[in-house]
Amino acid sequence: MRVALVRGSSSGRDAYKGIFGVSMPPLGLASLASAIMSNGHKAVLVDALTEGFDVGQVAETTESSGAQMVAVTINASPYFKFAADLVKEVKGENKNVVFVAGGHHATFVCSQVLASGFDYVVLGEGEQTFSELVNTLEQNESVSKVKGLAFKSDGRIVQTAHRPLMDNLDSFPSPRSTCSTRIGVKPTFSARVHT
């Protein structure tokens, strides 16, 4: 499956860069990319925050990449509007694209996120849950057995069994090596589209 992993923007500006003079790398998304790529899936990283992309530019980028799934990190509430607008724009063109949200905001208010058009919300740590979700969807199997997931079924929100926290985070491929070699992110983590 081809997956676009998106870090949105709350204001079109990178707050870390404005305050600290550096742009923080999207390590969470890079870690997810590592997890799914180790299972043979393709990952495209779109960093709207670093590049200052608006919703339209991200939608165009994900569409041109041929992504079958778009995964958006909503790690704080100010990023929710960008994510909801992205779902609306992309699904307006192609309703078959699967949208997945993760991050703190998505975890704590999954009902709001699902109501905005997302198909799935990864609850808590995402590497195992997201990787298992991608595999399950590609094999056309039921997602009800994927732990740590929320989705709608017959108009109601379903939360699957809780996924325990990882004991050994070193069991996943390094996000840094994924960013610098497989996805092609420059060492500064400031490249436009990374395939």
152-177 pLDDT, tens digit each: 999 999 999 999 888 887 777 776 44
Q: CB of 147 within 8 A of CB of 161? A: yes
Read off the pLDDT band of 183 (50, 70, 90).
very low
Dihedral sign computed on CA atoms, order 50, 89, 43, 135: positive
Decide: helix, strand or coil at residue 71.
strand
Mean pLDDT of 46-70: 90
Query: Is pLDDT above 90 for 178?
Result: no
Q: Look up residue 64 and give its two tokens.
A: 């041109």
Greater confidence (89 vs 14) lies with: 89
All domains of the chain in start order, with CATH: 2-184 (3.40.50.280)
Q: What's the chain's average pLDDT?
A: 84
Please state, in angstroms and as integers, the Cα–Cα distance from residue 29 to each residue in 3, 57, 90, 156, 161, following that order: 11, 19, 20, 28, 23
Q: Are strands 149-153 and 156-159 parallel, antiparallel or unpaired?
A: antiparallel
What's the whole-model pTM score?
0.85
